[in-house]
Amino acid sequence: MMKKWFLALLVSFPLAAAEPWPEVKWEVLVPKHWNPAKKFKHLDFSKLQDSDPRAMELLDEIKQEWDNAPIEHSLNGKKMRIAGFTLPLERKGDKVTEFILVPYFGACIHTPPPPANQIIHAKSKIPLSGIQIMMPIWVFGTLSVQRGDTTWGVAGYGLSVDKVVPYKEKKQ
């Protein structure tokens, strides 16, 4: 009798209860069926000549396609933890209240910048101490999908931060 009850309990509380902030990888933020090269399938690069101005134009177009990268709407409201590099936006004293999270080091200084679906705009109600520029970090919080401006800006990800933990390399 006791055993059955215990089993029922186990089933009704799946693993999610044990992990309130499941880990999310950056790839998940890119919609599965999105293919930036789709538009350019008909193009044959071998037919372009060296230093063809069209090649440059094409590159610009592909870049633009990346800039307008769509986001995964199903992630709205999902609790998660994600690792990335920080770029502080707003400070309160030496603490940070708003920052941008990007998947790779130096994303803010070097071009090309990451596409819109690889940038998370994180806000924290409690000012966070010890956040520096391009610092690897685990962010725990709830993801939200921000409606973008219709003409230029595409939608982006926002994150309301519950807590942050410095990122440490996993031991092999």
Partner 1 sequence: MRAVLLLALKSAWARRLTLGITLVSIALASALLLTVERVRHDARENFSQTISGVDLVVGPRTGGVQLVLYAVFHSGAATHNMQWDSFDALSHHPAIAWAVPIALGDSHHGFPVLGTTPNYFEHFQYADQQTLQMSAGRVFGEVFETVLGNTVASELGYHVGDRITLAHGLTETGPSHADKPFTVMGILAPTGTPVDRTVHVSMEAITALHLDWTGGAPMPGFSIPAEHVKKFNLIPKEVTAMLIGLKSRSDVFRLQRHINHYRGEPLMAVMPGVALDELWQTLASVENSLLIISVLVVLVGLAGLVATLLAALNERRRELAILRSLGASLGEIFLMLTTEGLMITVLGVTLGYVLFAVGMEILAPMVQTQFGIHLHWRILTVNEIILLLSIIVTGFLVSLIPGWRAWRMSLADGLTPRI
- Using CB under 8 A as the criterion, which residues of the chain lie in contact with partner 1 when the complex forms? 67, 87-94, 97-98, 100, 107-109, 111-114, 116, 119-121, 132-133, 146, 148-149, 151-153, 156-158
- Strands 120-128 and 95-102, sheet pairing: antiparallel
Instruction: State the nearest-atom distance from the C-beta of 156 to partner 1, in Å.
Output: 4
Residue 123: closest CA among 75, 164, 93? 164
**Between 44 and 94, whose beta carbon lies closer to partner 1?**
94
Instruction: State the nearest-atom distance from the C-beta of 87 to partner 1, in Å.
Output: 7
**Between 14 and 93, whose beta carbon lies closer to partner 1?**
93
Q: What SS3 class is residue 84?
A: strand
Q: Which two tokens stand for residue 15?
A: 């693993």
**Between 19 and 90, whose beta carbon lies closer to partner 1?**
90
Q: How far apart are CA 141 and CA 123, in angstroms?
A: 10
